[in-house]
Amino acid sequence: MEMMIACVLSFAVTGLLGWKVILPALRRLKAGQEIREVGPKWHLSKAGTPTMGGLMFIIGIALSILIVGWKGMLAGDLSHIYVFAFALVFGVIGFLDDYEKVKRHQNLGLTAIQKFLLQLAAAIAFLMLMRYEGLLSPSLYIPFFQTSIALSWPVYMIFAAFVIVGTVNAVNITDGLDGLSTSVTIPVALFFASVAAWWGYTQLGIFAGALLGGLLAFLLFNAHPAKVFMGDTGSLFLGGAVAGLAFAFDMPLVLVLVGIVYIVETLSDIIQVVYFKLSHGKRIFKMAPIHHHFEMCGWSEIKIVTVFTAVSTLFCALALLGVMDRIRP
């Protein structure tokens, strides 16, 4: 019940904030997105569309988890606050990046090394906190096989830190079309909400439900043609939320399934760059990440988002089957 209330409340707050406060404020401040010239030429028409819209669902989620989760907090369960705070740190990093882009009027904010170091520091701090709270174990649960691979704490922490940073940036790469990152993350949020309900993780379920509601409301503004972009503020927050939930449930390898779209997007970018350098200028894809390849093949943004969301939903359902028989950690 709490999960459903959090979802509805987050939807309402996000929608109302977006409609009455944040979107008008972003337009008034002229916080418009700068479009990279190396992308599809028709994307240049999107220049000036308000960015940093991720603030809508971040605030909506924050209010929802505080209002709905207060009983659990009084009982000492702060797991949903830990995950939100972790995601928020990445959201702040994204906000700084967006701010620099808007201020300079170009699609370049923080440097790659600055973002990497900040993200790595946030990941390590989160993992240390979760270990201190007893919410992590140095083992990797393998869906479907009902077994785990034991690791030493140093190896696990190094692995986990880079998985987190990789996940966050993969979600960021996916945010390249109207509604794409939002749409493919909705079934991911639903997956974690379902697991929370099945295992009785009320507080984490409240966060997952609030995330689901916030994204559903944001999609009203972000679907093609987008009235606002989430910006790095939103995409890095989403990446932190997805990674944080996976580790809070102590099953990071499930990201291979629920994050399949993020992974394919990132791999397409890596493959394109490596092949381009090795072949002295040749390309495998017409453009990378792969959503741009399908654009160049003539697919509409709506078709790409629909297909990618269907793939995400299918793999999230598969992941759910893979973890349902697991004994609650």
Cβ-based neighbours of 321, under 8 Å, separated by 6 or more: 144
Q: What is the 3-state secondary structure (H, E, C) of 76-142?
A: CCCHHHHHHHHHHHHHHHHHHHHHHHHHHCCCCCCCHHHHHHHHHHHHHHHHHHHHHCCCCCCEEEE
State the virtual CA torsion across 277, 280, 284, 289 in degrees, nearest 10: 40
10-residue mean pLDDT profile of the chain (329 residues): values are: 93 94 84 57 65 94 96 91 96 90 66 88 90 85 89 94 95 94 98 94 96 97 93 95 95 96 96 91 90 92 97 97 76
Q: CB under 8 Å to 61, separation ≥6 — which residues?
A: 10, 14, 84, 207, 210, 211, 214
Number of H helices and number of E strands within the chain? 14, 2
Closest of 66, 92, 93 to residue 80, by C-alpha: 66
> Who's near 183: CB < 8 A, 6+ residues apart?
219, 223, 305, 308, 309, 312
**Average pLDDT of the residues of the chain:** 90
Query: Which helix (H) or strand (E) is 205 found in, with range?
Result: helix 202-222
Residue 27: what pLDDT? 82
Report the pLDDT value the prediction gives residue 38, as an integer from 0 to 100. Answer: 55
pLDDT number for residue 45: 57
Q: What pTM value is reported for the model?
A: 0.92
Q: What is the structure's pLDDT at 213?
A: 97
Number of other residues whose CB lies within 10 A of the CB of residue 42: 9
Largest CA distance in the chain: 61
Question: What's the pLDDT tens digit per position in 19-49?
Answer: 999 988 888 877 655 555 555 655 555 667 8
The string of DSSP letters for 250-276 reads T-GGGHHHHTHHHHHHHHHHHHHHHHH
Three-state secondary structure call for residue 149: strand
Cis amide linkage into residue 187, ω under 30° from 0: no
Return d(Cα 151, Cα 167) in angstroms, integer.
Answer: 21
- How far is it, in rounded angstroms, from Cα 151 to Cα 142? 13
Please state, in angstroms and as integers, the Cα–Cα distance from residue 54 to each residue in 90, 162, 212, 262, 321, following that order.
12, 24, 14, 18, 31
Q: Which of 105, 126, 73, 122 is nearest to 248 (CA)?
A: 126
Residue among 119, 118, 9 at smallest CA distance from 57 = 9
In 136-270, beta strands by DSSP E: 139-142, 147-150
Q: What is the pLDDT of residue 97?
A: 87
